Amino acid sequence: MRLRLSHPAVALVTVVLLAAPRAEAYCRTTTSTVPPDYDPSISGCWNYGLPLYWANACVSYDIQENASRQVPYALAAEDIAIAFSQWTSTTCADGSEGSGRVSIDVRDFGPVACNKVEYNQYGPNQHAIIFRDTGWPYHDSSNTLALTTVTYDKTTGEIYDADMEINTTQPLSTTPTVDPGGFDFLSIVTHETGHFLGMAHSTDTHATMYAHYTPGDEVMRTLTEDDVSGICSIYAPDGLRHVAKAASPSGVLPEEACDPTPRHGFTPECIMSSAPSTSSCAAAPPGRAGDPRSVAGLLAAAALATVRRRRATRGSVRRAG
Amino acid sequence: MRHRSVALALVVCLAAASLPGRPASASTSIALPLEALVTDSAAAVVATPITQVALWEGGRIVTYTQSHVDAVVAGSALGDEVWVRTFGGEVGNLGQSVEGEPVFTVGRPCLVFLRHASVLAEGPAEELPGIYAVTGRAQGQFPVVSDAAGQIRVIKSSGVGALMVPKGAAMPLLAGDALHGLRLADAKDAVARTWSRGHAP
């Protein structure tokens, strides 16, 4: 028997198929910060903003010279290479973008002296992986084990820079078999390298990019099918980057030929830019970007705006009265 | 009132003038017990963001959020308004994503645990007068929301980054689990009770 579908029925089936949730749970980081009251496990990926991506086929990273007492340089270099290779050696299933290895690769540029997370808008950079042995410089009682900072162009979603910090004031497990209850260094850096490449947290509880780890576990060292789908969705085997329409009307961009040099060149040293101050406060002395005095200017301007707003409010009340 | 406004501007300027070049970030953290969050905080408040300023400090983007203090739940009195410093944000065409950092939206209230912001470098911390940071980063922020029945509740932030929950039978109640879903009034009580245990008079 042949089933004939009326137009409305066809439309309904089409709508249902289009609306069906995709099987994958991976998410991409976007230029729009996820609000704290948005729960991706209920509402799906946060799809506002533009998805992030590295435009070049090759990206470099560098490891802080001397690394850590806990994780000596040679061990750090070995484990971080393994972590990155989990992502860059991924083979994508045969899809519309073809099959084969993902179109992103990494290069270890070796040890760097710089131990600061920074992006230099006007000069050379490094994508540093930094170890904090003597103090964790954040407001979190040292409970953060690793942080990856990603700098991007908010008009396109292109990633310009990424740096990673490892909190080695906490005991980390670096053995092939994870200590029971231990925080596995290789699992942590495999997860963080996913962020480095533009992945956000997955809602798949088994994925490396899932937002919860179980101490003593080493399953995060290996990508799941969901992680693979995620990285393949950004860096397709055919060399195309899937981007927002704002970056390319077709929604894709061809990869740039392999050049792992960071934006504006490479330097192993920390070098701050000499950009003009962003301060708009006349009371603040001129300073370069990053100069705390420019902070004073901006905050003073904000405080002044507050005072003016209050005066205006009082004034309007008087007028109204 | 005018004196206080001027004082605020002065405090903010002085505080800012002492800021060092300091940058912003995805993260992996150990889940914090409520007691640890309380012990490490100078105050817990319900606050509503009013304005935000993002700027470069060193090679990083930092966002300063000015919030109205709706209620002091516990700890030191802060006045009507408070400045909170977080990492990440947007300046011009550039943005920095800092997963695990608290995210404030103007007009959206939160229960937040605050500590004095300090110079963020390795070694001894140097306090930044008049500027606060969220204790435990996003683990110290609980958005205040209205549920389907119109009840005002607090929920844990979805922006805490990847969390590791330490193992152990004696593991104290985690902050997120302790407060998530409570009515705001109950959450305030829970924090105040824990505060009285964690901060000796």
**Rounded to 5 degrees, what are φ and ψ at B149?**
-90, 5
Give the number of domains in chain A: 1
- State which residue of chain A sits closest to B154, comparing Cα positions: A37
Within 8 A by CB and 6+ apart from A88, the residues are A101, A102, A104, A105, A106
Residue from the list A137, A192, A215 with its beta carbon closest to the beta carbon of B166 = A215
Least confident of A212-221, B88-97, B162-171: B162-171
Residue to mutate among A144, A179, A199, with most B CBs inside 10 A, is A144
The residue of chain A with its CA nearest to that of B180 is A37
Identity of the highest mean pLDDT range in A12-21, A33-42, A133-142, B39-48: B39-48
Tokens of A210: 């899932």
pLDDT digit string, tens, across residues A45-79: 898 999 999 999 999 999 999 999 999 999 999 99
The residue ranking higher by pLDDT, B154 or A319, is B154
Least confident stretch, A71-85, A163-177, A306-320, B81-95: A306-320
Q: Which SS3 state, helix, strand or coil, does residue A293 take?
A: helix
Q: List CB contacts (< 8 A) between A227 and chain B.
A: none
Contact A139 B117 (CB under 8 A): yes
Q: Which range among A71-75, A141-145, A232-236 shows the weakest confidence by mean pLDDT?
A: A141-145
Residue of B nearest to A181 (CA): B167
Range name among A10-24, B26-40, B42-56, B72-86 with the lowest pLDDT average: A10-24
| Closest residue in A to B141 (Cα–Cα) | A36
Please give, rounded to a whole number of angstroms, the shortest distance from the CA of B8 to a CA of chain A.
7
Distance CA A126, CA A109 (A): 9
The residue range of the domain holding A206 is 2-318
Task: Look at chain B and count its residues.
Answer: 201
Q: pTM for the full model?
A: 0.81
Segment holding A74, helix H or strand E: helix A73-88
Element (H, E) at A302: helix A292-320
Q: What is the pLDDT of residue A73?
A: 98
Across the range A226-241, mean pLDDT stands at 95
**Closest partner CB to A134 (pick from B90, B122, B133):** B122
Which chain B residues contact residue A200 at CB under 8 A?
A: 26, 99
* Whether pLDDT at B17 is above 60: no
Arithmetic mean of pLDDT, A233-243: 94
Q: Which residues of B touch A160 (CB under 8 A)?
A: 94
Nearest residue of chain B to residue A160 (CA atoms): B94
Model confidence at A310: pLDDT above 60: no
Across A58-72, A129-143, B33-47, least confident range = A129-143
The answer to whether B7 faces chain A, any CB pair under 8 Å, is no
Query: pLDDT at position B154, please?
Result: 95
The CA distance from A16 to the nearest CA of chain B, in Å, is 27
Residue of A118, A192, A278 lying closest to B26 (CB–CB): A192
Decide if B123 touches A, using CB distance below 8 A: yes
pLDDT digits (tens, 9 = 90+) for A261-270: 999 999 999 9
Contact A213 B164 (CB under 8 A): yes
Q: Mind listing the pLDDT tens digit for each residue in A90-119?
A: 999 876 666 899 999 999 999 999 999 999
Going by pLDDT thresholds of 50, 70 and 90, the confidence category of residue A217 is confident
From CA A35, how far away is CA B143, in angstroms rounded?
9
Mean pLDDT of A22-38: 86
pLDDT band at B120 (very low <50, low <70, confident <90, very high): low
B115 inside 8 A of chain A by CB: yes
A152, B41 Cβ separation under 8 angstroms? no
- Shortest distance between the Cα of B29 and any Cα of chain A, in A, equals 4
Contact at CB, A146 and B28, closer than 8 angstroms: yes
Q: Report which of residues A136 and A87 the model is more confident about.
A: A87
CB proximity under 8 Å: B 125-184 to A: 133-139, 141, 143, 145, 155, 157-168
% of residues, chain A, pLDDT over 70: 75
Please provide the average confidence, as pLDDT, over all residues in chain B. 81
Positive/negative CA dihedral, B46, B48, B51, B57:
positive
Question: Domain of A98: which CATH number?
Answer: 3.40.390.10
The answer to whether the CB of A106 falls within 8 A of the CB of A99 is: no
Contact B59 A119 (CB under 8 A): yes
